[in-house]
Structure 1
Amino acid sequence: MRRRLAGISLLGVLTLTAAACGSGGDAQPADGPVTITMWTRAATQAQSERLVEAYNSSHENQVKLTVIPTDNYQPRIAAAAGARQLPDVFAADVIFVPNYTSQGLFLDITDRIAALPFKDGLAPSHMKLGTLDGRQYTLPHTLDLSLWFWNKDLYEQAGLDPERGPKTLREFAEHATTIQEKLGGDGKVHGTFFGGNCGGCYVFTFWPSVWAAGGQVMNPEGTTSLNDQPAMLEVFKIWRELYEKKVTGPTAREEQGPTWTGFFPKGEIGVMPMPSTMLGLMPQEMEIGVAPIAGPDGGESTFVGGDSIGVSATTRNADAAWEFLSWTVSDEAQVEVMAKNKDVVARTDLAGNKYAAEDPRVVLMNQMVGKGQTPYALRFGQTFNDPQGPWLRLAREAMFGDASKAPQLNADVTKSLQQ
């Protein structure tokens, strides 16, 4: 996520390969069971491993999974594409899928998707970013939503209603401040927390408040930044006040991302934005509430993140690869593998499945898939995720420095998007 996608050679050849394959036919049909290769980044390792294990235990064809460190993933894909050594299928952060589709790394699977009886239920944001010129190249693989988690025990200790989470960002700030004032005396408990030196953390947790308020952070083409507009500036202002009042904990300003979700499970944070995938990883004894992220005065939204997955343009096992991919979004996989482990399902028509129905928090998360957004920009990584990029400079100035510089710094964000 921190490196520019670069160094891919032979992309013209890859594009021709994808076009020649159309919607995907095996270059060499197999006579017997096929073992296909799959790559995923470490950030979605747990979900990928569960899917592969379940598939391998019930199918003749098999999947050999390779998990690659997240920071090394983009360079590894670039090198493999240049050497024409991509695996049969590979997942990618949904934000970067437009880069891969535009460079011909995925096989066109439009016709195969069209034949799925549940095609209209596939996560809309993921499907949108996997579409290029009206053709579809990927399916949702894992979904990770940004939500507000609150610790019910800390709420009760602070005199707040443990069954009622915040409905607005201003109320979020009030709750966090109350917890800090009532329980933060020993320095172990803090009202809230955020990744103050992490560009990706800001977009994942702050942007939904802008969307909930009816604002936008970019134009639809992903070429103009709107992060100097009133909706974004108001969100920054509320969070900055929390930091200045020492409600956010002493390490928030330096937090670069790797540990930003680590404090809440320890019972040290009252309320904070968290990834939905963390719900299934929380201590069983911890009582946790979950709410949509709201704007300053209401509304609700979420950043629909996670990974999409596609068949590589150079595969020689397109049919076997599609068999696996289509199975991963089937009722069996989505309910018995994903939902059973409290993961968000990749299909809106399965939002109220039997496992989700047992936990209203999971039902809420599944419902938010159709309400959230996934921003589109071909230069998203360089602009918003790169620690040396212009977005992090804007965010840190707005949070910790001279907020009046936002228009000037926003121009730098737009310049980066348009390069």
Structure 2
Amino acid sequence: MGAVPRGAADRVRPRRGHRLPRRGRPGRARDAQPVGALRPAGVQGRGRRPVVEGEAGDERPVVGEDPAVAQALELYRTLWHEDLATPQSAADSEAQALTLFGGGSVGMYPSGSFSLEELGSTYPDLDFGVTPIPGPDGGSSSFAGGDDIAVTSDSEHPDVAWRFLEWAVEADTQQMMSEVGTVPVHADVTLGPYSDRGPEYAVLGEAMVNGRTIRSVQENALFNASTSPWVTMIAQGVFGESPDSVDDAVSEAQDAMANILSRG
């Protein structure tokens, strides 16, 4: 999600056949320079392969086999090396990203649904729009899920816990949660009352319904940890000085992920 200043898209010159999106619903951020604040983002979407394939316990990484991964890194690399991203991007842990965007210092900010309510309350005068993360040749990408709720095998009250789980995913409960800004997991609520709150919510609703989730028991080690192959690949590919930084970073990530998955 993010706002794009007028004329900003014309300043970005993607390499290797990349095209910036001309669709979506961009808004305006006054005096926003430079164009982007970079952060690790997914490259999955409808029609794309997952970055890990196979059933739990028999998984294999495919980041080195899907050209979409390298394409996404090349686009971010272009933004960085042509000074179209804020200098803080190389070292920021995302702590400043929302502040920079909300204050008008950057014009595009990839983020999640959780930012919408905070932007509205902290920066009520900010004029911005929300659009899906676009693919190079159409389509979009979104991550949905990753958090689980379950009943443990040693629970002293499994029946009570199960009734709570059933209540938590009912349409009425999901409707109540959507009213405080949480994207519902119940599709009828997501594409209905939640999306009806406004065009920004409709975009987020579609992203939830069409999003993908990494399915791996090693998901944290592969992607979320600060030293994970995924985070390391993005840092090396985007901010590296060598012309081969992207190819080298993707290859190293493929090998590192395979090593993690080989441990079970």
> Does TM-score exceed 0.5, indicating one fold?
yes
1:207 corresponds to 2:207: no
Whether the 8 Å CA contact 1:217–1:227 is kept in 2: the answer is yes
Give, as a single letter, the amino acid of the residue that structure 1 aligns with 2:128: I
Q: TM-score, normalization: structure 1?
A: 0.51
Secondary structure in 1 matching 2:192: coil
Aligned equivalent of 1:9? none
After superposition, give the CA deviation of every residue in 1:110-154 in whole Å (9 maximum; x if it has no partner). Answer: xxxxxxxxxxxxxxxxxxxxxxxxxxxxxxxxxxxxxx3225xxx
What is the distance in 1 between the residues matched to 2:35 and 2:68?
Answer: 23
* Deviation for aligned residue 1:275: 0.7
Of 264, 280, 288, 2:101 maps to 264
Whether the 8 Å CA contact 2:43–2:68 is kept in 1: the answer is no
Say what the alpha-carbon RMSD is for the aligned residues.
2.9
1:312 corresponds to 2:161: no
Aligned equivalent of 2:87? 250
Aligned equivalent of 2:53? 219
Give, as a single letter, the amino acid of the residue that structure 2 aligns with 1:171: L
* Deviation for aligned residue 1:183: 4.4
- C-alpha change, 1:339 and 1:232, in structure 2 (3 Å) is same
Aligned equivalent of 2:213? 374
Secondary structure in 2 matching 1:343: coil
1:344 corresponds to 2:187: no
- C-alpha change, 1:377 and 1:261, in structure 2 (3 Å) is farther
Aligned equivalent of 2:251? 407
What is the distance in 1 between the residues matched to 2:47 and 2:74?
Answer: 14
What is the distance in 1 between the residues matched to 2:178 and 2:95?
Answer: 26
- C-alpha change, 1:224 and 1:355, in structure 2 (3 Å) is closer
Give, as a single letter, the amino acid of the residue that structure 1 aligns with 2:19: R
What is the distance in 2 between the residues matched to 1:331 and 1:409?
Answer: 41
Which ranges in structure 1 are unaligned for 5 or more consecutive residues?
1-147, 161-168, 196-201
Q: Which has a greater percent of strand?
A: 1
After superposition, give the CA deviation of every residue in 1:48-74 in whole Å (9 maximum; x if it has no partner). Answer: xxxxxxxxxxxxxxxxxxxxxxxxxxx
Secondary structure in 2 matching 1:382: helix
After superposition, give the CA deviation of every residue in 1:193-235 in whole Å (9 maximum; x if it has no partner). Answer: 123xxxxxx2xx2323xx3563432223373222223221111
Aligned equivalent of 2:69? 232
Give, as a single letter, the amino acid of the residue that structure 1 aligns with 2:115: M
- C-alpha change, 1:353 and 1:392, in structure 2 (3 Å) is closer
Whether the 8 Å CA contact 1:212–1:293 is kept in 2: the answer is no
Q: How does 1:11-410 map to 2 (within 5 A)?
A: 148-150=1-3, 155-156=5-6, 158=7, 170-172=19-21, 183=31, 189-195=33-39, 202=40, 205-208=41-44, 211-212=45-46, 214-221=48-55, 223-229=59-65, 230-283=67-120, 284-305=124-145, 307-336=147-176, 338-401=177-240, 402-405=245-248, 406-410=250-254
Which ranges in structure 2 are unaligned for 5 or more consecutive residues?
10-17
Whether the 8 Å CA contact 2:35–2:107 is kept in 1: the answer is yes
- C-alpha change, 1:295 and 1:378, in structure 2 (3 Å) is same
Larger radius of gyration: 1
What is the distance in 2 between the residues matched to 1:417 and 1:386?
Answer: 15
- C-alpha change, 1:313 and 1:271, in structure 2 (3 Å) is same
Give, as a single letter, the amino acid of the residue that structure 1 aligns with 2:246: A
After superposition, give the CA deviation of every residue in 1:219-259 in whole Å (9 maximum; x if it has no partner). Answer: 23373222223221111111101001111101101122444
Secondary structure in 2 matching 1:350: helix
Secondary structure in 1 matching 2:165: helix
* Deviation for aligned residue 1:372: 1.3
Secondary structure in 1 matching 2:37: coil
- C-alpha change, 1:183 and 1:265, in structure 2 (3 Å) is closer
Whether the 8 Å CA contact 1:212–1:295 is kept in 2: the answer is no
| Identity level (%) | 22
- C-alpha change, 1:329 and 1:395, in structure 2 (3 Å) is same
What is the distance in 1 between the residues matched to 2:49 and 2:102?
Answer: 32
Whether the 8 Å CA contact 1:329–1:346 is kept in 2: the answer is yes
Whether the 8 Å CA contact 1:213–1:231 is kept in 2: the answer is no
Q: How many residues align?
A: 240
Structure 1 runs of 4+ off > 6 angstroms?
none
Secondary structure in 2 matching 1:307: coil
Secondary structure in 1 matching 2:145: strand
